[in-house]
Amino acid sequence: MIRVGIGGWTFEPWRTTFFPKGTPKTKELNYASRQLTTIEINGTYYRTQKPATFQKWAADVPDDFIFAVKAIQFATNRKVLAEAEQSVGFFLNSGLTELKSKLGPILWQFMGTKKFEPDDFEAFLKLLPPEKNGVRLRHALEVRHESFKDPAFAKLCKKYGAAIVFADSPKFPKIDEETADFTYARLMGTESKIETGYAPKAIKAWADKAHDWEGSGKKKRDVFVYMISGAKERAPAAAMALIKELA
């Protein structure tokens, strides 16, 4: 299945460009999850949440809705990734498995200064378990340094079944490699002057690309596409336009 969404659901401009007038803050996730098919939780990057919070979020969205969860920065923003075991464990034990079937990929985002060091990166990948508390864990890696445009990096991710995030931004390397049974894309090119963020031609092109990522036949793959950054106020409209184009 191809899922399309945004990062978070709390953003002041969305209260005039996305949410119906007068929507209480407590109802924003409820509304957003019924217009989109996935949301990337970004708040977990800055601090861990409580199990009860994950439970509340899961209860507030439709049964077939999926969250991606951005891993805490203390696990990835470090010189030696092999030393991240405690931070990784702390994050994975924070309660995110309370999302149960609504837990999608976990996004591990690395600093733009972090270079590809094969041994250290493999040590980090070994810290990422395939399941927790009976819930499957899928891992997506967003790297931001040109040194990762190395066949050895893709080979390493494939070995551990981790997806390489496709980032649509001139600031970061575009790595379009199938290394897992799903694709994770973050599109960062929305423009404020365009009501739907991307022009209709671009929306169609992204829909075609999403279908390419999905594949066909028995080997179809899950695809997660998020409208992130760029003209953030246009992200929901861009996501909904893509969902409509994919229909």
CATH number at residue 62: 3.20.20.410
Residue with more model confidence, 55 or 216: 55
Percentage of residues of the chain with pLDDT beyond 90: 97
Domains held by the chain: number: 1
* Domain containing residue 225: 2-246
Beta pairing partners, 138: 105
What is the model's pLDDT at position 229?
A: 84
Q: What is the mean pLDDT of residues 194-198?
A: 96
Confidence bin at 218 (pLDDT 50/70/90): confident
Distances (CA, A) of 232 to 26, 120, 185, 227: 21, 34, 16, 8
pLDDT at 106 over 90: yes
Contact (Cβ atoms closer than 8 angstroms) between residue 228 and residue 189: no
Q: How far apart are CA 102 and CA 61, in angstroms?
A: 9
Give the whole-angstrom CA distance, residue 108 versus residue 74.
11
Are the C-beta atoms of residues 132 and 92 closer than 8 Å to each other? yes
Distances (CA, A) of 227 to 53, 70, 185, 197, 230: 24, 14, 9, 9, 8
State yes or no: pLDDT of 102 exceeds 80: yes
Report the distance separating Cα 130 and Cα 149, nearest Å.
25
